Amino acid sequence: MTLLDSAEVVVRRRTAADTAYGPVYSDDGPPMAVACSVRALTAAETRQLGWQATAGIRILARSWPGDERSAVRWDGADWEPDGPALRRDGSPATAHFQIDCRLAR
C-alpha cells in the first residue's frame, strides 16, 4: 500500500441529457472501485441561502475512469467533481490524477 492507494472510492460514470428544467443525469455503465488517496480540501460555512456548511475533498489516483459528470461515493457521502481531472505527470512512480470534489446537491 502506498499513499496513492490507501483508500477507495466508487465512481459512477454518467451521461447528461438536456431538458427544459436543466440537465438530467443517468448512469453510464456499472460503478467502478478506484484505489486512491482522499484528503480534506475545504471546510467552511457560506451565507448563500442562509448558513450552509460546504466541504470539499481532493482525490489523488493513479488512474481515473470518470469525468466532470461522474458521481463519486466516499465515506458514506456522494460527491461531484468540481471540474475535469488534472493529470499530474512526474516520474512513473508519482504520476497521478487530481480530482477536486464538492458534496453532491
Q: What is the pLDDT of residues 70-85, one digit of tens each?
A: 999 998 999 999 999 9
To the nearest whole number, what is the mean pLDDT of the chain? 87
pLDDT band (50, 70, 90) for residue 49:
low
Q: Give me the domains of the chain, ranges plus CATH numbers.
A: 3-16+24-103 (2.40.10.370)
Q: Averaged over 5-31, what is the pLDDT?
A: 91
Listed residue (99, 97, 66) closest to 82, CA to CA: 99
Of residues 17 and 4, the one with the higher pLDDT is 17
Output phi, psi for 48, to 5 deg: -70, 130
3-class DSSP state for residue 71? Answer: strand
Prediction pTM value: 0.82
Range 18-25 average pLDDT: 90
